[in-house]
A = this chain, B = another copy of it.
Amino acid sequence: MGLSEFALIDHFFRPLGANRDDVVIGVGDDAAVLSCAADRQLVAAVDTLVAGVHFPLDTAPGDIGYKCLAVNLSDLAAMGAEPAWATLALTLPEADEAWLAAFAQGWADLARRYNVALVGGDTTRGPLTVSVQVMGFVPSGCAVTRGGARPGDDIYATGTLGDGYGGLRCILDGNRDDEHSRYLRQRLNRPTPRIELGLALRGIATAMIDVSDGLAADLGHIVEQSGCGARIELDQLPLSTALVRLAADFAQRPELSRLEQATAAQRCAIIGGDDYELCFTAPPGHAAAIEALSHRIDCPVTRIGRVVEGVGLSGRTAGGDSVPLAASGYRHF
């Protein structure tokens, strides 16, 4: 195949992103030139997906193209930022046009929905690795950080937790093909970045993070950076029917086995990663506003616990027993 790096990016990606007036120069020069509004701050995030580490080797290219953008948009959502632009660094073992076309379609599905323009890229030969940087905006001073939680705040999560982990297990444990397995795999491969809710939570959430490494790890970052602790009500964790049905099959996995007092699905929700739901904190006085937002945006939000004095995380069972939760999740090293 004779397409150069430039032609590859150009051919597959230039026509597929959103068109934005603030892109002065997009793909095709040494760098992109972009217009920033004066009263807004730039928000930038980067995330890399490596084949065999972040997704199984046989993942469909459309799902990879979708997910590499989704996980980055999820980071913007967690800051309360509005997406604008992305760059793509794509390392591929070979320039397979069918693979690239499917990858680009998966990317475009999401990029159009959230009005994200591809403004730069680099295609190189090597083991399959996809690194994406997204850029977006917040009104100056309005970004939601990890460090603003205060004792007494409620803790919330969007959607359902643990599905990403469940989807991965369904693939690794034999690629089951029943309805629940398909649902969990779809949740793993096509997570929904909670952009609209993240935007609506500016001025309401005191701290926010997206659940990429597992609830315990990610909520752990919030309490560490906020200088407080958190107590999770285990029976309040939002769980999908599919996960509840299938979780018993993976409950004995070493990474889950230490949480003996929790149900199998709760363990997946606490330890599993790859959910890309938002976890955020807010004072109890905002509960009604949050419920109204959840309905308006059609994004499920569940109160799952409370910020407390002290440090670290604990869980509480339906029976009132306290369960220590180490702030650890998936680690690539």
Contacts and interface: CB of A to CB of B under 8 A. Distances in A.
Which of A6, A25, A119, A133 is most buried by chain B, counting CB atoms within 10 A of its CB? A133
A333 B3 contact: yes
Contact of A47 (B8, B81, B89, B140): B89
Interface stretch (A123-131, A155-163, A243-251): A123-131
Nearest to A39: B38
A43 B36 CA distance: 10
Given A44-B135, A50-B124, A30 B78 contact: yes
Interface in A130-146: 131, 133, 135-136, 138, 140, 143, 145-146
A126 B50 contact: yes
Nearest to A52: B126
A31 B129 contact: no
A98 interface: no
Nearest to A278: B30
- Copy total for this chain: 2
Interface in A293-333: 331-333
A48 B129 CA distance: 10
A242 interface: no
Nearest to A209: B30
A283 to B, nearest CB: 21
Nearest to A81: B31
Contacts of A146: 28-30
Interface of A is mostly: strand
A32 interface: yes
Contacts of A120: 44-46, 133
Interface in A85-129: 85, 87-89, 91, 94-95, 119-127, 129
B32 A87 contact: no
A24 interface: yes
Contacts of A43: 31-34
Contacts of A45: 30-32, 87, 120
B95 A48 contact: no
B50 A125 contact: yes
A166 B171 CA distance: 48
Interface string A5-48: 11010000000000000001100111111111010111111111
B332 A125 contact: yes
17 contacts: A2-B333, A3-B333, A4-B331, A29-B146, A29-B225, A30-B45, A31-B45, A33-B42, A36-B36, A46-B87, A46-B88, A46-B122, A47-B122, A49-B124, A50-B91, A126-B127, A133-B133
Given A33-B143, A44-B85, 11 more contacts: A24-B143, A30-B209, A35-B140, A36-B36, A36-B41, A38-B38, A45-B120, A50-B125, A89-B131, A125-B333, A126-B129
